[in-house]
Amino acid sequence: MTITEAPTAQRSKPLSKWSLYSRRYFRNIPATVALGIFVVLVLFAVVGPVFQKWDHIELDFLSLSDGPSSEHWFGTTNSGNDVFAMTVEGLRRSLMIALIVSTGTTVISAVLGGVAAYFGGWSERIILWVIHFMMAVPGFLIVALVTNGSGGNWFILAIMLVVIGWMTLARTVWTLSLSIRESEYIQAARYMGVGSFRIVLRHMLPNMASLLIINFTLGVVAAVNSETSLSFLGFGVRVPDVSLGTLIAMGSSVVTSAPWIFLFPGAILTLLTVSMAFVADGLRDALDPNSAAGGRA
Amino acid sequence: MTRRLINWLVIIVVSTNITYLLAWNFMDPRSNYIGRRPPLSPQQITDLLEPRNLSDTVPLLERWWTWLTNILLHWNWGVAPNGDSVNTQMAARMWVSAEFTGATLVITTIAGIALGVYTANRQYKTADRIGHFTSTITMNIPPIVAALGFVLIAIWINDAVGTTIFYVTGPVGLSSEHWWVPVLDTLHRLILPTLAMSLVGYATTHFLQRALLLDNISADYVRTARAKGLTKQRAIRKHALRTSLIPIATQIAFSIPVIFLGAVLSEQIFAWHGLGEYLVQTIGRNDVHGTVAIAAFGAFLTAIGALLADIAVVALDPRVRVN
């Protein structure tokens, strides 16, 4: 009986974590295109003011309610504001609110959900009660009331959107953390004497990183949508401050006579939400921790 | 069941009262009368507001007590600063909203389930990929942009054809000797908003149905059914689809508040005088009682939806037994 040599599998070297993620992400064509669009939009918001010929509060009394021209690329409003400058300013404001809201909700729900699951007992009971109570409270109404009362301050709007927006994700984090809490490496860390907060921050949350990152991207979409809806109804950002929502509200009343006031901000808003959705989609595939491919793209 | 009912009752009562206190904190009915020509003296404003239980000269606790006893004893939800009864407004607008969103709910549910089943049967094939791509886009078009975009296109088509094919506003209260004239007019005016809301709404059901059906197609009991000789179509329809419809039923039950309250933006854009429009108006007019009534109605509908969802699960899922 001869001992046959086990055939050594011709396996390529496992990729490093980041090149694996990026290779998986960039082979998804819609996600790559969407990331490109998103980068262009951010650049448009950041360096747009360099190209604009008019300031967003400047009035051009010689062209009221004019269509797009070489002087006013996106046309003007009926009081002579340059729509291009206003769109740049509005996009910047909307993006800023969306990033604050999405960061805030992700951080709060990650910490609270993780703490509730890891510590259990009283802290868990209190946090869960707060979550259930906040879910029953009419959130939209409260944001509208508070922002309306504050006179349309965009920062208060952002804070209020965080206050009513963190519960669902916190609950998801809580359920996931419950199962992670029982895994061996957490037990090991606990017996090694690692502090509780350190375990939550260094061992439990990184294991939910993919969930948190994807929810962050989707949170940006949700925040942009809430902000523009509230501003559209007059309960969010208010004149003289500009956001994409106030611009669309301005355009909606003259949608037949001056469609460009609605069309340009509307198109930019749609590009923003749709591209973020495709980025989230691509990230979901790229960061999938349960992928069967095992270290290969 | 009784425990659930009591639990929901407590939530409704608590959230309604909190909204009442919050509304008073941020709304000032008195400010409606500031700047009137001819100007009203503070005493005159108080005289106007006091019988309506909206005057801030009365202590908040007393106002709250009057408001609460009126609801509990007379089912009277109070009046707006201008004297309109909240009860009348709510009762009338509720059905306008239901008319407005009913067709959309039916269309999005049926289209979503159909697309979900179709694409799940062809996972990762061309049809599935195209469906996924388009649904991701439509789901993320902001509802305002979709509604205004449809208005623009409709007006453009009307201009091109020369007659009014699409109406972009709500019913105007036609009077006619035939009962079907106003009904047809309402249906005609529903076409455009229904299209706009269905376009952005169907994708949620599509993705949910696809994911659920895929989970069930690979389940053991479907493989057993196939092993016993059922065709793939039959195994999916008789076994996998039935189980995967249960969460969809739950989702429909939870969308009951949306039927009556949901379309704030669309009602505003298409000028339908439903509860969504009422909500915007009450906040703008410092109408404390109206705002609170809408919040209470919303909480009530959420409770009904949650309870119906429980009942649907018990009725449809043979694995769940009533205890």
Q: What is the pLDDT of residue B142?
A: 92
Q: What integer pLDDT is reported at residue A50 of this predicted model?
A: 80
HSE-CB at A112 with a 13 A cutoff on CA atoms is 20
Q: Do A141 and B279 touch (CB under 8 A)?
A: yes
Q: Is the CB of B140 less than 8 angstroms away from the CB of A228?
A: no
CB contact under 8 A, B269 and A146: no
* pLDDT at site A6: 55
Residue in A25, A173, A200 with CA at minimum distance from that of residue A106: A173
Tokens of B262: 């949901």
Q: Which of A33, A227, A274, A284 to substitute to test the interface with B, most B CBs within 10 Å? A: A274
Residue B152: CB atoms within 10 Å: 17
- What are the residues facing B74 on neighbouring strands? none
* 3-class secondary structure, A290: coil
Q: How confident is the model at residue A8 (pLDDT cuts 50, 70, 90)?
A: low
**What's the rounded mean pLDDT across residues A9-34?**
83
Contact B295 A138 (CB under 8 A): yes
Q: Mutation test of the interface with chain A: which of B148, B270, B282, choosing the one with the most A Cβ atoms within 10 A?
A: B148
In this complex, the residue of A30, A149, A270 whose CB is nearest that of residue B145 is A270
Give the DSSP letter of residue B79: B
Q: Give the side-chain half-sphere CA count within 13 A for A116.
A: 23
Stretch 248-277 of chain A: residues touching chain B, C-beta under 8 Å: 248, 251-252, 255-256, 259, 262-263, 266-267, 269-270, 273-274, 276-277
> Across-strand partners of A76?
A82
Write down the pLDDT at residue B193.
93
| Dist. CA A183–CA A203, nearest whole Å | 11
Residue B228 per-residue DSSP state: T
B40, burial (CB in 10 Å: exposed 0-12, middle 13-18, buried 19+): middle
**Model pLDDT for residues B54-95, shown as the tens digit of each residue:** 888 889 999 999 999 999 999 999 999 888 899 999 999 988
pLDDT tens digits along A178-192: 888 888 888 899 899
Confidence band, pLDDT 50/70/90 cuts, at residue A49: confident
Tell me the backbone φ, ψ of residue B79, rounded to 5 degrees: -125, 160
Task: Flag if A259 and B26 touch (Cβ within 8 Å).
Answer: no
Q: What is the pLDDT of residue A11?
A: 61
Q: What tokens appear for B185 in the block?
A: 């007019």
CB spacing of A255 vs B148 below 8 angstroms: yes
Residue-wise pLDDT for B259-283, tens only, equals 776 688 899 899 899 998 999 999 8
| Contact: B144, A259; criterion CB under 8 Å | no
Indicate the helix (H) or strand (E) that contains A175.
helix A167-181
CA B157 – CA A190 distance, rounded (Å): 68
pLDDT tens profile A237-285: 887 788 999 999 988 888 888 888 899 999 999 999 999 999 999 998 8
Reported as type and span, the H/E element at residue B11 is helix B2-26
According to the per-residue pLDDT averaged within each range, which of A115-119, A139-143, B141-145, B234-238 is highest?
A: B141-145
Question: In chain A, which residue ranges form alpha helices assigned H by DSSP?
Answer: 17-26, 29-51, 83-119, 121-136, 139-149, 154-165, 167-181, 184-191, 196-198, 209-233, 244-252, 260-286
Q: What is the mean pLDDT of chain A?
A: 85
* Amino acid B219: pLDDT: 87
pLDDT at B41: 85
The owner of tokens 């994700």 is A169
Give every residue of chain B whose pLDDT is below 50, as ranges. 323
Beta-bridge partner residues of A199:
none
What are A159-171's pLDDT values in tens digits? Answer: 999 999 898 899 8
Kindly indicate the confidence band of residue A294, based on its pLDDT and cuts at 50, 70 and 90: low
Name which residue leads in pLDDT, A293 or A19. A19
Q: Which residues of B touch A (CB under 8 A)?
A: 11, 14-15, 18-19, 22-23, 25-27, 133, 136-137, 139-145, 148-149, 151-152, 155, 264-265, 268-269, 279-280, 283-284, 291, 294-295, 298-299, 302
Please indicate whether residue A96 or residue A78 has the higher confidence score (pLDDT).
Answer: A96
3-class secondary structure per residue, B127-161: HHHHHHHHHHHHHHCCHHHHHHHHHHHHHHHHHHH
Q: Which pLDDT value is given to residue A157?
A: 92
3-state secondary structure of B173: coil
pTM above 0.90, yes or no: no
Q: Residue for token digits 């059905």? A: B95
- Average pLDDT of span A34-50: 91
Q: Which of A139-143, A149-153, A179-183, B227-231 has the lowest mean pLDDT?
A: A149-153
CB distance A252–B148 less than 8 Å?
Answer: yes
Which residues fall within 8 angstroms of residue B271, CB to CB, at 6 or more apart? B169, B170
Distance from CA of A272 to the nearest CA of B (A): 9
Using alpha carbons, select from A161, A162, A288 the residue that is nearest to residue A214: A288
Testing the interface with B: which of A141, A269, A278 to mutate, by most B Cβ within 10 A? A141
Burial annotation B252-264 (CB, 10 A radius, 16+ → b, else e): bbbbbbbbbbbbb
Rg value, chain B, Cα: 25
